[in-house]
A and B are shown apart, each in its own frame.
Chain A
Amino acid sequence: MTDWFRRVFWFTPLRKGLTVLLVLAVVSGLAYGVHRVANPDLTCAEGVARPEPDAECVGVSADGYAFGVAALKDVAAAIARENRGLTKGEYATVAVMLPITSTDSGMRTKVLHELQGAFLQQYAANHDSNEQVPKIRLVLANTGMGNAHWRTTVGQLKGMVDGPDNLRAVSGVATSSAETKDAVKELTGAGIPVIGTTITADDIANGPDGDPYPGLARVSPTNGDEARAIAQFGKVEAKKAVLVQDTRPGDHYTATLRKAFADLLADAPYEPQLFTSPPDPTDEGTTPNTFRQIALLLCGTRDADTVFFAGRHTQLRQFVNALGQRPCQHREFTVLTGDEGSYLGADDRLDKKALANKVSVRYASLAHPDAWKEPGAPRTGGSPAAYKVFTDLLEKAADPDIGPIGKTSLRDGQAIIAYDAMATAVRGIREATVDKLPEISDVVTQWPQLKGPLKVEGASGWICLDNHGNPYNKAVPIVELARDGSQRFVEIAWPEEKPPAQDCLPPGAS
């Protein structure tokens, strides 16, 4: 063995030299291999990396990376194409922060629609706005499933404020959860303007009691406003109403609904019915048993026909199913709830027969394609014209120069809301612009100005922000869940009972 080794590798000085080179090459190769195994390449794309091996890709992407989600490929590519057409230094960046890699199918659809809406607004801002500056660059910010990796992404966003990215706003904040709240807190704490799309929870909002999120604007009504709008819609029924509420702590959405409904039903004859959802509200848990009892109780009441449901959609589905099995099949029940009702249509486990058995589910939607259609649309608080601009854009997006942007659907209203949120961001950025690019601190102070003549005429209705960045008297389309799972528009409800005046100024603001 030694002799063979010497003969082949170590006999002449020349062989020794070559052997040394060979060994060095092999060793460095091995070292590199070991290094790669020990320090795996976690990058997914530019600006995007896995926080740990085998984790999802998290971060901010501007060049068409779809975070491995096939459905997003088209829209991500369209955004990237739009971004590529911009000149460095002449654009402001808006990030759409979403749990893009979520595996939940509802969330996936929501993400797709939000990105589509945001892109349409970006396109409109860059091409159909009389060459206003700055141009808008859109980036995708993934916080991971359940927003678990929000810290990484938020940290990255904070670093993008200075050139060359010139991040000026973050949009897309789409769920009401503790992580979202922390993320918004962190972003606004760093002086970055945030425009929430579908956050409705009252405690991710500023208010008269204080501005915990300086620079946060919302285009959706708060849960409180929603609840008030629902309550206004169901006002006549208050005497015959029962409140069914989730007691699990820590859920802002349910807590807000609970509070609004409770205020409305302060002197209702029936005491609230309670249930407690599992820690993860998408778990089935044991709540169906509770709901069966509540259904029995409801049958036991004399004339109750309206249920205000303060809970998440899994529990809502269980409750509707339980109600479908109620003993008093002859009695009609209307379930009123918040925007979680919108998920019900896509839920396979919903007992569709319940809807036939005189049970109707009505809820506050954030936006609905039928809300602003002639005739019969209110004259203020929104306009069919503004809505038509949106739908025209949507049609244009089929053009291969702009799109494609993937399969579109307006039924859930997410695209409309995202479009409006983006419009708010663009309006804020451009209003703050003096020279080429606005200071980010100027953008933050713009939100309270967006009212009256500067209001955003959104596709979902007028967005007149109050001094705390919340939309004042935003149109709330009330929809009813049809038996085929679609949402049937019922009517527009207003948190302030009736549409805003033409000037759209919050009271006390003028």
Chain B
Amino acid sequence: MDRELFGREAVLDGLAPRLVGLPPRGFQKVPYEHRDDLPVVVLTGGRGMGKTAVLKRLHTAYRSRTPVALIDCERDQFRERSPEASLAWSPVTEALTELGEQLAPAVHGAGAVEFPRLSAGLLAVASLGWRPHDDENILAEGLRLGLLAEPGSRWRGQTRTWLSKVVAKFAGMASGMPGLDVVVETTVESLLDDLFGRGQRTSAQWYGDYPGAGGQAKRGLTLLALHFRRGSEHRVRAERHLVGALRADLEAAYHGMGRLRRVGRPLVLIDNGQAPLGRRLVEPVLRDRADGKRDPVVLIAALRGYDHPALRHAVRRSLPEVRHELGWERGREVASGAVTVELTPLDPEHVRQFLDRTDPRQLTRAQLARGVHRLTGGRPVGVDLLARAAGQDEHPERFTPGSLLGAPVALREDTEGRPVADELLGRLVPAARLDWLTVLAPAHDVRSAEALAASRLPREEGRTGLAAVRDARTLLADEHWASDPRRFVGDPFLRTLLLHRLRYGDPGASRWRAVHQMLRDHFGDADVPRRLHHELALGDTEGAVTYLRETFATADARVWLDELCLIACAPHFEEADGRAAVALGRTGSPTGADPVLHARVRRLLFAVWHLTDPLALPDDEVTEKMGYELGLLSELHSSGNEVLWQASRSWPRAVRDWRPLGSTGGGS
């Protein structure tokens, strides 16, 4: 079953069809938005925002109707190799080979795409690494690259014959190592004269335009290979030409008879474009197009994050804007040939659609969709996995967002389910940093994080806790996680996931306790609300109630409400959630001085704690009660009557609207 892309239709049904000229399904035609000059579309967004899913979906949708290729720049095979291996190889050549292989197969109504230019260029470069008596390697590599020029068994045989001829030539060379230029020249000459037919030789003439080639394809190809070997700027230029060769081959495929047989445009999808390879693939396209070298390739890249130094001048759009029109025009800068499209979080409605699909029996609680949306902030990967976990359970009616995090989700039918939270963290956080982040998650700021790191993180290879905090901060910034001055981990969803792991990571939750106790002690009397926040997390509530009761009369009402919120946002992972019962006054007994006020404050604290907890589903009765208690308290307060009364009206409304509480009322 195709993965549905709720909320991503703007790309799938709007932007991509207008660029490719074909709808996501079916064989109609879609009018092009841009006729000759095409923008490079860069999808931006943080981890788990659905970039890869969009690209995969585009790949599935257009496969078999138009040539389409999808590569992931972070895949192992594109990783830089040893300097020795890099002489005749770079991630770009590997990626171009892969792209050529993916774009080549015949699609409906049109034959295979042939890449004689790309093949010639890659063979010239590859020959840099060919040594006499290295027959096996030459045959394997040469055959793979040679087949880009033309598919079919006949050509395979011809290429094989040609390669053995090349091997024989090398062997026949004078004893000792021939110079690289001789190897390349020999290969190129033999390639053009012996292997290539007339049509392919004409295509290869494209290399006559290579700087310094003087119109001679052989000279151009040899120069390109030698430049590639020299490295740095020279290699960049050679690679730019190789990318150009791919585009020129596609351009040729869409001309002449191709115009009659081919509909739409070829589609190249580049995932994880933030990797160096991504830039090396996309930049030549942007530069060539800025120079007026047009081609019919629709290039859509995904970029983790929201910005990239090279894309400073790119046209910026957000997802909903591109549904009907991209509205792109080339400016003077090279980067203006690109459009960044920011993937926005999902709406609550999309979450509901996810759940409707995974839970066709409609057993989940009505509020769960909004609850999941509040928990995930609309991050597609979270919504997707949580919805699937809900759908895979026998009794999805029992789930709250909190219990759903611990539910198992099986991504394939033949695999055992993993808890959703673990699965999500596996996708959102690099495994090497996960333990550190888990420990640092409860921290409020850098200082508390450093304190935590100092006491809780093991010293490794001379690295101090401080270094760990710096690493973690770098990671969070590099991966474009939101920041929040009040939290060390700014993104609420990631923070909740990390806290969940901290709580359930070890059987006795001893680490959880230790971390919170450490933070409680760290704040001590210097920052009482934060200390009480951690006490609450540890399950110790009386201190907080007493503190709030005692400060009620003296403190400014706004400050008091803010402190209430700060304390009440403590994480709560207990299996049995007794907070609603306490809030409604069904348990607990008055103690100490002023028992009436004490009970009221306790009920209010528990109500707020329960209602603002993203892992719990708000209860209508508790919401009412919270407003009621605030109303009563407003009458008791000497100066804050107005503030408290406003809060008594606005807070229940905010809860019903799934908004965060604002201490001053009227929403945040």
Which residues from chain B contact A12 at a C-beta distance below 8 Å? Answer: 109-110, 260-263
Say yes or no: is A6 at the interface (Cβ < 8 Å to chain B).
yes
CA distance A10 to B263 in the complex (A): 11
Which residues from chain A contact B28 at a C-beta distance below 8 Å? Answer: 3, 6
- Contact bitstring A14-52, B, C-beta under 8 A = 1, else 0: 110100000000000000000000000000000000000
> Are A6 and B27 in contact, with the CB atoms below 8 A?
yes
Which residues from chain B contact A7 at a C-beta distance below 8 Å? Answer: 27, 108
> Are A13 and B259 in contact, with the CB atoms below 8 A?
yes
Which residues from chain A contact B26 at a C-beta distance below 8 Å? Answer: 3, 6
For the complex formed, measure the closest distance between the CB of B350 and the CB atoms of chain A, giving whole angstroms.
27
Which residues from chain B contact A10 at a C-beta distance below 8 Å? Answer: 27
CA distance A3 to B25 in the complex (A): 9
CB-nearest residue of chain A relative to B257? A14
For the complex formed, measure the closest distance between the CB of B13 and the CB atoms of chain A, giving whole angstroms.
16
Chain B residues 226 to 271 lying within 8 A of chain A, measured CB to CB, are 257, 259-263
CA distance A15 to B110 in the complex (A): 10
Which residues from chain A contact B27 at a C-beta distance below 8 Å? Answer: 3, 6-7, 10-11
Known: A7-B27, A11-B108, A12-B109. A17 touches B260 (CB 8 A): yes
CA distance A15 to B109 in the complex (A): 8
> Are A14 and B108 in contact, with the CB atoms below 8 A?
no
CB-nearest residue of chain B relative to A4? B27
CB-nearest residue of chain A relative to B110? A12
The size class of the interface chain B forms with chain A is 10 to 19
CA distance A15 to B27 in the complex (A): 12
Which residues from chain B contact A15 at a C-beta distance below 8 Å? Answer: 109
> Are A11 and B263 in contact, with the CB atoms below 8 A?
yes
CA distance A7 to B64 in the complex (A): 12
Which residues from chain B contact A13 at a C-beta distance below 8 Å? Answer: 259-261, 263
CA distance A13 to B28 in the complex (A): 12
For the complex formed, measure the closest distance between the CB of A457 and the CB atoms of chain B, giving whole angstroms.
85
CA distance A15 to B260 in the complex (A): 8
CA distance A13 to B260 in the complex (A): 5
CA distance A11 to B259 in the complex (A): 12
CB-nearest residue of chain A relative to B262? A12
For the complex formed, measure the closest distance between the CB of B67 and the CB atoms of chain A, giving whole angstroms.
14
For the complex formed, measure the closest distance between the CB of A116 and the CB atoms of chain B, giving whole angstroms.
70
CB-nearest residue of chain B relative to A5? B27
CA distance A14 to B108 in the complex (A): 12
CB-nearest residue of chain A relative to B22? A11
CA distance A68 to B329 in the complex (A): 83
CB-nearest residue of chain B relative to A17? B260
CA distance A401 to B26 in the complex (A): 75
Q: Which of B26, B27, B109, B257 has the most CB of A within 10 A?
A: B27
Which residues from chain A contact B260 at a C-beta distance below 8 Å? Answer: 12-14, 17
For the complex formed, measure the closest distance between the CB of B264 and the CB atoms of chain A, giving whole angstroms.
10
Which residues from chain A contact B261 at a C-beta distance below 8 Å? Answer: 12-14
CA distance A6 to B62 in the complex (A): 16
CB-nearest residue of chain A relative to B259? A13
For the complex formed, measure the closest distance between the CB of A157 and the CB atoms of chain B, giving whole angstroms.
61
CB-nearest residue of chain A relative to B23? A3
Chain B residues 78 to 110 lying within 8 A of chain A, measured CB to CB, are 108-110
Which residues from chain B contact A17 at a C-beta distance below 8 Å? Answer: 260
CA distance A11 to B108 in the complex (A): 9
Which residues from chain A contact B263 at a C-beta distance below 8 Å? Answer: 11-13
For the complex formed, measure the closest distance between the CB of B20 and the CB atoms of chain A, giving whole angstroms.
14
CA distance A474 to B262 in the complex (A): 93
Which residues from chain A contact B262 at a C-beta distance below 8 Å? Answer: 12
Which residues from chain A contact B109 at a C-beta distance below 8 Å? Answer: 11-12, 14-15
- Contact bitstring B251-294, A, C-beta under 8 A = 1, else 0: 00000010111110000000000000000000000000000000
CB-nearest residue of chain A relative to B263? A12
CA distance A11 to B26 in the complex (A): 10
CA distance A13 to B29 in the complex (A): 12
CB-nearest residue of chain B relative to A15? B109
Which residues from chain B contact A14 at a C-beta distance below 8 Å? Answer: 109, 257, 260-261
CA distance A439 to B544 in the complex (A): 142
CB-nearest residue of chain A relative to B27? A6
CB-nearest residue of chain A relative to B65? A11
Which residues from chain A contact B110 at a C-beta distance below 8 Å? Answer: 12
Which residues from chain B contact A11 at a C-beta distance below 8 Å? Answer: 27, 108-109, 263
For the complex formed, measure the closest distance between the CB of A16 and the CB atoms of chain B, giving whole angstroms.
9
Chain B residues 99 to 147 lying within 8 A of chain A, measured CB to CB, are 108-110
CA distance A340 to B261 in the complex (A): 83
For the complex formed, measure the closest distance between the CB of B131 and the CB atoms of chain A, giving whole angstroms.
46
For the complex formed, measure the closest distance between the CB of B229 and the CB atoms of chain A, giving whole angstroms.
43
Chain A residues 441 to 458 lying within 8 A of chain B, measured CB to CB, are none
CB-nearest residue of chain B relative to A7? B27
CA distance A194 to B198 in the complex (A): 82
CB-nearest residue of chain B relative to A14? B260
For the complex formed, measure the closest distance between the CB of B116 and the CB atoms of chain A, giving whole angstroms.
22
Chain B residues 1 to 58 lying within 8 A of chain A, measured CB to CB, are 26-28
CA distance A188 to B438 in the complex (A): 125
For the complex formed, measure the closest distance between the CB of A13 and the CB atoms of chain B, giving whole angstroms.
5
For the complex formed, measure the closest distance between the CB of B648 and the CB atoms of chain A, giving whole angstroms.
59
For the complex formed, measure the closest distance between the CB of A14 and the CB atoms of chain B, giving whole angstroms.
4
For the complex formed, measure the closest distance between the CB of B501 and the CB atoms of chain A, giving whole angstroms.
48
CA distance A10 to B26 in the complex (A): 12
For the complex formed, measure the closest distance between the CB of A330 and the CB atoms of chain B, giving whole angstroms.
104
For the complex formed, measure the closest distance between the CB of A77 and the CB atoms of chain B, giving whole angstroms.
59
For the complex formed, measure the closest distance between the CB of A249 and the CB atoms of chain B, giving whole angstroms.
81
CA distance A7 to B261 in the complex (A): 12
CA distance A11 to B28 in the complex (A): 7
Which residues from chain B contact A6 at a C-beta distance below 8 Å? Answer: 26-28
CA distance A17 to B261 in the complex (A): 11
Chain A residues 150 to 172 lying within 8 A of chain B, measured CB to CB, are none
CA distance A6 to B261 in the complex (A): 14
Which residues from chain B contact A3 at a C-beta distance below 8 Å? Answer: 26-28
CB-nearest residue of chain B relative to A16? B260
CA distance A14 to B109 in the complex (A): 8
For the complex formed, measure the closest distance between the CB of B334 and the CB atoms of chain A, giving whole angstroms.
34
For the complex formed, measure the closest distance between the CB of A3 and the CB atoms of chain B, giving whole angstroms.
5
CA distance A99 to B263 in the complex (A): 70
CA distance A307 to B109 in the complex (A): 95
CA distance A455 to B170 in the complex (A): 115
CA distance A12 to B254 in the complex (A): 12
CA distance A14 to B260 in the complex (A): 5
CA distance A12 to B27 in the complex (A): 9
Chain B residues 290 to 326 lying within 8 A of chain A, measured CB to CB, are none
For the complex formed, measure the closest distance between the CB of B602 and the CB atoms of chain A, giving whole angstroms.
65
CA distance A6 to B108 in the complex (A): 11
CA distance A319 to B107 in the complex (A): 93
CB-nearest residue of chain A relative to B260? A14
CA distance A17 to B27 in the complex (A): 16
CA distance A56 to B290 in the complex (A): 83
Chain B residues 184 to 211 lying within 8 A of chain A, measured CB to CB, are none
CB-nearest residue of chain B relative to A6? B27
For the complex formed, measure the closest distance between the CB of B63 and the CB atoms of chain A, giving whole angstroms.
15
CA distance A13 to B257 in the complex (A): 10
Chain A residues 383 to 430 lying within 8 A of chain B, measured CB to CB, are none
CB-nearest residue of chain A relative to B28? A6
For the complex formed, measure the closest distance between the CB of B656 and the CB atoms of chain A, giving whole angstroms.
46
CA distance A465 to B257 in the complex (A): 86
Chain B residues 594 to 620 lying within 8 A of chain A, measured CB to CB, are none
- Contact bitstring B543-572, A, C-beta under 8 A = 1, else 0: 000000000000000000000000000000
CA distance A14 to B257 in the complex (A): 9
Q: B-contacting residues of A (Cβ < 8 Å)?
A: 3, 6-7, 10-15, 17
In the complex, 16 of the A-B residue pairs with CB atoms within 8 angstroms, ordered by the A residue number, are A3-B26, A3-B27, A6-B27, A6-B28, A7-B27, A10-B27, A12-B110, A12-B260, A12-B262, A12-B263, A13-B259, A13-B260, A13-B261, A14-B257, A14-B260, A15-B109
- The 9 A-B residue pairs with the shortest CB-CB distance, nearest first, are A6-B27, A14-B260, A12-B109, A7-B27, A13-B260, A3-B26, A11-B109, A11-B27, A14-B261
In the complex, besides A7-B108, A14-B257, 7 extra interface pairs with C-beta distance below 8 angstroms are A3-B27, A6-B27, A10-B27, A11-B27, A12-B109, A12-B263, A17-B260
